[in-house]
Amino acid sequence: MATSQRVVIIGAGIVGTNLADELVSRGWNNITVIEQGPLSMPGGSTSHAPGLVFQTNPSKTMTLFAKYTVEKLQSLEKNGQNCFNQLGGLEIATTQERLEELKRKHGYAQSWGIEAHLISPEECHKKYPGLNKSMILGGLHIPSDGLALAARATQLLIESTTKAGVRYLEHTVVTGIEQANGHVTGVTTNKGSVPADIAVSCAGFWGVEIGKMIGLKVPLLPLGHQYVKTTAVPGLVGRDVNKNINAMNAEYPILRYQDQDLYYREHGEQYGIGYYGHRPMPVNAASLGVTPEKVDEKNMPSRLEFTPEDFEPAWKATKELLPALRETEIADGFNGIFSFTPDGGSVVGQAPNLDGFYVAEAVWVTHSAGVARAVAEMLTEGRSKIDIAELEVTRFEEVQLSPEYISETSQQNFVEIYDIIHPLEPKHTPRNLRVSPFHARQREQGAFFLEVGGWERPHWYEANAELVTSLPKDWRPVDRDAWSSKFYSPIAAAEAWKTRNAVAMYDMTTFHRFEVFGPAAVDLLQRLTTSDVTKAPGAITHTLLLNRHGGVLSDIFVSRIEDDVFQIGANTATDLAYLVREARQQSKGTPSQWVQVRDVTGSTCCLGLWGPRARDVIREISADDFSNNGLPYMGVKKSGLAGISVTMFRKSFVGEHGWEIQTTPEFGQRLWDLLWQAGQSHGLVAAGRAAFNGLRLEKGIRASGSDFSSEYNPYEAGITYAIQRDKKVDFVGKAALEAASRRTPTKRLRCLTVDDGRSMVLGKEPVFRNGQVAGYVTNAAFGYTVRKPIAYAWLPKDLNEGDSVEIEYFSRKITATVVSDPLYDPQGRRLHDDGPSEKPELQKRLKALL
């Protein structure tokens, strides 16, 4: 049905035209598309894109977007010809490391529902006869990959949407975004104003400039990428390129030679070669000026002059891999501009600072229709059915939005685009952007740091290495394979043992902390969360943020500090943007509805002190009552530790008694020293994220974003403990949640343990039942207490405790069993008990262990 919402789309490339089509198909008809160039060839990245579509990606979201893009391009047809040539895709390995990487990628394909086959060197040569067979160790073949005709698809979309009533304004330059009361009202152009309720920037690498018009930092960097065409290849001269190939000038699979940063496609008698191995070539989009009125294949803003010296290594490697090309020359080349981002993902979603303004930038042809559909669903339904949290424009921390950070990390992503990257591998640079006040002490303890959100976060401490050899036999670490041993140390086992049997100290500073305050703070949180947060000050509530369809946006801890002051323990910067937007909208009412949200992560620091002897440590430095009477589980209170003002949160991520102890950064190092000295006689050690993750999974604590997302409801994800079913007031998603409670879930997040007790998996591996893919792993770690690797996986509802499954890890099947969770202390006694100080027998046993 028609809508009165006035939508202006900025950019008529493959994303903008797809978005117009997706909105038309949903009944929206008041749509204007503004394009600064000619509609026949807008001149952006779409106009020169080589069109290779390799669907499989470590990201489920990006893979599903690519899959839909293939389907959409196949559906765009005119004169018997569609816009996708399904030649298949072939990725080859010339090193053993790459061959193993293809096995991992084959696992991704199976997890995300893409048909894929690992093939032998002989099969590679059969599918691609021109290969130098002596170089090939194996390959990955995906039959549904192929070539997109992006420019043709764009023209067909313009044609069909114009007939449906979409208005296109070509040669029209956007000069400003009009707004009133925090909402978009129109788009200013060189030809006048276009009224709008919603504006969506699909401007590609010009998106940075559009973002500046509203004060939005769009974290992308335009970079030049080399592409050449050869002269006619012997053996291809004069062939009938139209025979059985959908008139698209190719008949062999699209080819990737990632060991040398190369990819290949055919152009009739010629070859097209793309190369990522050259130096990064950053471009300032503003310097390119406005797209001229006349644009052709060789003259467009996104096509820069070719630099042949940069291509020399690629040409040498190409002639080695494809001997027939030794008899050719480079006929034409250019440096085409594409958008790169700090983490390699697209930038999608509503701007945090202006309601009604959306972006869909850094989107390649491969994912174009999928992203467009997601944005259309956001506009028409309020959410994308495929979770886009990893693409959200709000996902970046403030430190990651500086021009220097965006430039350096985006260039690094260009260099590493075909590299083999471990899932835990941190950025090499920039580092030490954000460090906690405990950093100096952590370095003294030999901390091994990984990076997240610009923070340096310890994963283990070399000072604990000597503890490994003295561990009880049933706690000693098992041997791991080479891949899962990367960014891991057996020291984690010792740190886990100390946490379970004595006491350990964890740096929790990197976790997001927000403050919600004002006369309507409780009203905001009541409206947004699944639990009743009207409890008296001093209470902590673990609750959920849902969308109105019942999908889980995040899980948060709401601590009521004062009547009108709450502290939120959250997961991401996107959580902050959501809360800030909702608070802004609520505060537009009467003064009694005023509420504000601010990020206090950087103005606080936090240590987790957990273990059966945690209370003994605290008693050394405070006479305050931290027993169950003085501070029960899921309680919070302000206190003092030897003169340091702290806030004590009685909660735990590792399943042990203790607190998160929060203070301000100027007291951070003193707090560390105080706890460290008080804890030495009780066996205290510093512990890192590696131990933390294993202990967390043993306790059955799911991770927002990796274990569950907006695609799943709480009943499927097994997090109904964060729902208060008798909550009287309405909240976002309540109706959908009640409907979900009456349905039987089709899938559930289940806990698995590996049968052999030693074979590790890391996440995203496919899970098989009776030889068929049944689901995929979300998170995994070694369970130090239960002495087995643990994994969580999305599986069909009819898989029950005791059922056997297989996890495929680098083409090897690992048998696992579905088990009930949590595996450790399912009754929660360790969290609620007062600790061993109140239990002489346990105190005696712990002293003997230490």
Distance in angstroms (rounded) separating the CA atoms of residues 385 and 383 = 6
User: If residue 697 lies in a helix (H) or strand (E), which one and from where to where?
Assistant: helix 689-698
* DSSP of 216-248: -----EEEEEEEEEESPPTTTTT--TTTTSTTS
Catalytic residue among 48, 106, 141, 225: 225
- Catalytic position from the list 145, 507, 555, 575: 555
Using left for φ > 0, alpha for ψ between -120 and 50, and beta otherwise, residue 289 falls in: left
- Cα-to-chain-centroid distance, residue 246: 36
Check 108, 128, 227, 263 and give the catalytic one. Answer: 263
The one-letter amino acid at 348:
V
Nearest to 410, CA basis, from 203, 225, 201, 209: 225
List residues bridging with 644 in a β-sheet: 641
Is residue 715 among the annotated active site residues?
no
Residue 814: C-alpha distances to residues 423, 465, 752, 753, 792 (Å) = 20, 30, 11, 10, 14
**Which has the closest alpha carbon to 10: 162, 168, 160, 178?**
168
Number of helices and strands (H, E) in the chain?
23, 42
**616-624, long-range: CB < 8 A, 24+ apart:** 616/503, 616/682, 616/835, 616/836, 616/837, 617/503, 617/675, 617/678, 617/679, 617/682, 617/684, 618/659, 618/678, 619/837, 620/678, 620/679, 621/674, 621/675, 621/678
Residue 520 DSSP SS3: coil
- Smallest CA-to-CA distance from 111 within 52, 70, 57 is with 57
Task: Estimate the crossing angle of helix 573-586 against helix 521-528, to 10 degrees.
Answer: 120
User: How many angstroms separate the Cα of 308 from the Cα of each of 175, 318, 330?
Assistant: 37, 14, 9
Give the residue among 316, 294, 676, 310 at the shortest CA–CA distance from 461. Answer: 676
The verdict on whether 225 is a catalytic residue reads yes
CA angle, corner 509, sides to 713 and 653, nearest 5?
Answer: 45
Active site residue 555: yes
The CA distance from 119 to 439, in Å, is 48
Helix, strand and coil content of the chain, in percent to the nearest 5, comes to 30, 30, 40
The CA distance from 366 to 218, in Å, is 21
Any idea what DSSP says for residue 434? B
238 burial class (0-12, 13-18, 19+ CB within 10 angstroms)? exposed
Catalytic center residues: 225, 263, 555
